Each structure stands twice: as C-alpha cells, then as structure tokens.
Amino acid sequence: MGSTVTTAEKKHFLRWFLANYQLQSREAEMLIRYMMTRENVLRKVHFVENFRQLPRVIVMSTTCVPVAPFRYYRRNKPVSTDVEQAFLDLYQHPDEDIYVGLFFKDRTTSAAYAAVLEEVPVHDLEPAVREMISLQADLIIEQAVRRYQRAILMADVDRSLDEGNREAFYQASQRLIEFDESNLGL
C-alpha cells in the first residue's frame, strides 16, 4: 500500500476504473467524475480498504458485485444512500479528508487499485477507537513480557532438574509459583 498517492495517480486510477467497471449508481459515477476534475478535492480523497470509524467515508460498488450501490458515512450523522448529499458535503468542505471504499469484482487482485490504496492515519480515527487501540497494544505488550518472564523462570526450573540440584529446583519452583500467583488476576 502506498503511503502518499499523488493526485495524478488517483486521477489515472479513476479513469481506468470508470473505463473498466460500471457503477451501480449513475450518480456515483458523476460524483467520481466531479472528484477527478477538482484537484483540491482529489488531493483529499484517500482510497482505503478498512474505513470503519473514519470521519467521512464514501462506499461505492460496481454492477459485478452484490454490495449496496452507494453509502455515505459522516461522523455523528446517519448513513445516507443519497449521492447528492455526499456531493454537497464535498462541495461545502473541500479541505476535509474523504475516504473512499470501492467494491468491484477484481478488487483484491487489482494492481491498479493496490497502487492507490493508502493506510488509514491513526489521527483520523475516532478518539475512542484510538484509545481502544492503545489499550489493546499495551495489553499485548504486557502479555508478551509476562510470557517471557515466565519462560525464564521455567528455564530455571528445567535447568535445576537437569542438573539434579534439589535446592535450586525448590527455589526456582517457588519463584515460578509466586510469579503465577501474582499474575492470576491479569
């Protein structure tokens, strides 16, 4: 996935897309053509695969897939199927990022589509989602550290058994038991 896609690359992709696929909604095709002719709008268009929790999203599909023809999502507003509403929002807020998800037959294998896909910047996610991701990351790190610490304690137990050192075995086992007890609630 590209990190920065130029407006020329986006325009080239959209021309290719419209030449090879037919959208289920004629109005959606007109919206794409509008995006292509407005450099300032196209600069803010980002093609993404995962568009959940993004502030402003347009989802369009072609006639070759059984997906809803058009959906427009705007933060804190109901989902809309009205292309005109999306157009008005683009027209009124050309400086805001807009994320576009396209559904078409060869989507997963299309090199042209892959070339314009962008990663979703974390700062564009809802604050609650960012916080949840941060908490999950912290939890994963803590679990990895605990597994590593436990593996070291287990290695001490195994080593003392291999050496036949009864005193070292009791000490290593006690440390392992205390570690496990201290991590029971986690």
**27-83 per-position pLDDT tens digit:** 999 999 999 999 999 999 999 988 777 888 999 999 998 888 999 988 878 888 999
Whether 121 shows a pLDDT value over 70: the answer reads no
Q: What percent of the chain has pLDDT over 90?
A: 58
pLDDT category, 185, cuts 50, 70, 90?
low
Report residue 119 as tokens. Answer: 């990663």
CATH 3.40.1530.30 fits 7-122, yes or no: yes
Mean pLDDT of 106-132: 76
Angstrom CA distances, 167 to 156, 158, 163, stand at: 12, 13, 11
Whether 169 shows a pLDDT value over 50: the answer reads yes
Separation of alpha carbons 52 and 41, rounded Å: 21
Separation of alpha carbons 20 and 17, rounded Å: 5
- Give the per-residue pLDDT at 186: 54
In sequence order, the β-bridge partners of residue 23 are 62
- Give the per-residue pLDDT at 182: 86
Cβ-in-10-Å burial (0-12, 13-18, 19+) of 32 comes to: buried
Alpha carbons within 13 angstroms on the beta-carbon side of residue 108 total 1
The vertex-13 CA angle with 11 and 16, nearest 5°, equals 110
Mean pLDDT of 128-133: 63
Separation of alpha carbons 83 and 34, rounded Å: 12
Mean pLDDT of 2-29: 90
Is the model's pTM score more than 0.75? no
pLDDT category, 1, cuts 50, 70, 90?
very low
Separation of alpha carbons 137 and 152, rounded Å: 23
DSSP E strands, the chain: 45-47, 56-61, 70-74, 98-103
- Give the per-residue pLDDT at 178: 92
Contacts of residue 142, defined as CB under 8 A and 6 or more positions apart, other chains included, come to: 186
Sheet with 45-47, strands from edge to edge, namely 45-47, 98-103, 56-61, 70-74
149 phi and psi angles, rounded to 5 deg: -60, -40
Mean pLDDT of 77-94: 89
- Give the per-residue pLDDT at 153: 93
Report residue 170 as tokens. Answer: 């009791």
Q: What is the mean pLDDT of the chain?
A: 87
